[in-house]
């Protein structure tokens, strides 16, 4: 048994006017709750430090850059790292990263229990669009503000297991889990900000959005025999609702914990990383069963192309 007591720390809405200091104080309060419940690993959402700013169309680069962190930890986030180090809780959270070279990424980091950053992932599947789209009920401008991640899908030894990260829309792409599955991943963390309504199809509301979210995360877990810890930023940000439904999913694809609110809320589970072994050595023993000679199109072709009639 390799038990990792893991807390998914869902965050309620962050309004445009909320300061980083206010948000970090909320994150520390959640971390204290996780510590009380004996967690040694705590996972926060995508873009945990700010409102989901890609819903706002901006043309002025300094205005855009105010949502980004040029340093991690920086002056605003240092207290979070400090408290995590004192409590000996490893953490993972998402933020908008501005590099020294001026590149912008939607990023997530992973620390050890000493508060040192040991892993970084930059979101690869950026959803949405790059120009103002008057056809949509609201904007989703991730392709405007971020570059696609350039670090691949790495995994890291941490906390006695093998860990990887995805960010939000990545969870809908089976290739993302599989690349980590092929490196033996045992726990995938992912933060998300998912609007409660499809901006291009008003009939698709929160129940459908939650259904697709669970479907994507549960199948990723099952098909790679890994734990998945999916954590929302939820609730209404400046009039824009987002789903909750933070999940801890076991390597069989079953949900073992799920949030019930759209506010700051903790769910926790003692995840036995050895529970990954059965699937990895039987039905999803990749070495024995995968037929890579038939998978070439996966990397050779991006868009679907039906055969000639
Ligand atoms: N943050 C993020 O990736 N959200 C997307 C919304 C997709 S609709 C443009 C998601 O997959 O939940």
> 83's torsion region: left (phi>0), alpha (psi -120 to 50) or beta?
alpha
Give domain status of residue 57, yes or no.
Answer: yes
Whole-number Cα distances in Å, 276 to 195, 251, 288:
32, 6, 17
Task: Return the CATH number at 250.
Answer: 3.60.110.10
Give domain status of residue 85, yes or no.
Answer: yes
Number of structural domains in the chain = 1
Give domain status of residue 256, yes or no.
Answer: yes
Structure letter (DSSP) for residue 147:
P
Atom number, ligand 1, closest to the C-alpha of residue 52: 1
pTM of the model: 0.98
The residues annotated with a catalytic role in the active site are: 46, 123, 168
Burial of 309 (0-12, 13-18, 19+ CB in 10 A): exposed
pLDDT band at 178 (very low <50, low <70, confident <90, very high): very high
* Dist. CA 289–CA 240, nearest whole Å: 45
**How far does the centroid of ligand 1 lie from the alpha carbon of residue 221, in Å?**
19
* Dist. CA 58–CA 64, nearest whole Å: 7
* Dist. CA 234–CA 242, nearest whole Å: 5
Give domain status of residue 307, yes or no.
Answer: no
> Above pLDDT 70, what percent of the chain?
100
Nearest to 126 by CA among 201, 214, 54: 54
Structure tokens at 183: 């490196």
* Dist. CA 292–CA 268, nearest whole Å: 37
Give domain status of residue 246, yes or no.
Answer: yes
CB-ligand 1 contact for 127 (6 Å cutoff): yes
**How far does the centroid of ligand 1 lie from the alpha carbon of residue 186, in Å?**
24
* Dist. CA 185–CA 46, nearest whole Å: 20
Give domain status of residue 133, yes or no.
Answer: yes
pLDDT band at 288 (very low <50, low <70, confident <90, very high): very high
Atom number, ligand 1, closest to the C-alpha of residue 167: 3
Give domain status of residue 205, yes or no.
Answer: yes
CB-ligand 1 contact for 139 (6 Å cutoff): no
Tell me which residue has its CA closest to atom 12 in ligand 1. 194
CB-ligand 1 contact for 169 (6 Å cutoff): yes
Atom number, ligand 1, closest to the C-alpha of residue 172: 11
Q: What letters, b where the CB count within 10 A reaches 16 and e where it falls short, cover 118-147?
A: ebbbbbbbbebbeeebeeeeebbbbebbbe
Rg from Cα positions in the chain: 19
Q: What is the pLDDT of residues 118-172, one digit of tens each?
A: 999 999 999 999 999 999 999 999 999 999 999 999 999 999 999 999 999 999 9
CB-ligand 1 contact for 54 (6 Å cutoff): no
Q: What is the pLDDT of residue 291?
A: 98
Segment 96-120 mean pLDDT: 98
- Whole domain around residue 144: which residue ranges? 3-300
**How far does the centroid of ligand 1 lie from the alpha carbon of residue 308, in Å?**
33
149 neighbors 105 (Cβ within 8 angstroms): yes
């Amino acid at each position: 048994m390799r038990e990792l007591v893991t807390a998914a720390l869902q965050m309620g809405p962050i309004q445009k006017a909320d300061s980083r200091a206010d948000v970090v104080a909320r994150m520390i309060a959640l971390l204290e709750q996780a510590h009380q419940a004996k967690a040694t690993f705590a996972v926060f959402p995508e873009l945990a430090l700010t409102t989901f700013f890609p819903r706002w169309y901006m043309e002025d680069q300094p205005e855009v850059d105010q949502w980004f962190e040029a340093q991690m930890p920086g002056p605003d986030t240092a207290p979070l790292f400090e408290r995590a180090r004192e409590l000996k809780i490893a953490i993972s959270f998402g933020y908008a990263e501005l590099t020294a070279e001026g590149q912008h990424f939607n990023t997530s980091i992973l620390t050890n229990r000493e508060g040192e950053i040991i892993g970084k992932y930059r979101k690869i599947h950026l959803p949405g669009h790059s120009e103002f789209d008057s056809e949509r009920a609201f904007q989703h401008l991730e392709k405007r503000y971020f570059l696609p991640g350039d670090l691949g899908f790495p995994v890291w030894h941490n906390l006695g297991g093998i860990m990887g990260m995805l960010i939000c829309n990545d969870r809908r792409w089976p290739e993302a889990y599989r690349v980590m599955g092929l490196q033996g991943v045992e726990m995938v963390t992912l933060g998300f900000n998912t609007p409660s309504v499809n901006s291009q199809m008003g009939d698709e509301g929160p129940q459908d959005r939650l259904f697709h979210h669970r479907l994507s995360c549960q199948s990723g877990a099952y098909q790679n025999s890994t734990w998945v810890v999916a954590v929302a930023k939820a609730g209404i940000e400046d009039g824009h609702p987002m789903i909750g439904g933070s999940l801890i999913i076991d390597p069989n694809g079953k949900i073992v914990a799920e949030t019930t609110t759209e506010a700051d809320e903790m769910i926790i589970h003692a995840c036995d990383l050895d529970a990954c072994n059965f699937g990895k050595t039987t039905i999803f023993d990749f070495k024995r069963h995968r037929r890579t000679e038939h998978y070439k199109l996966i990397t050779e072709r991006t868009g679907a192309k039906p055969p000639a009639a």
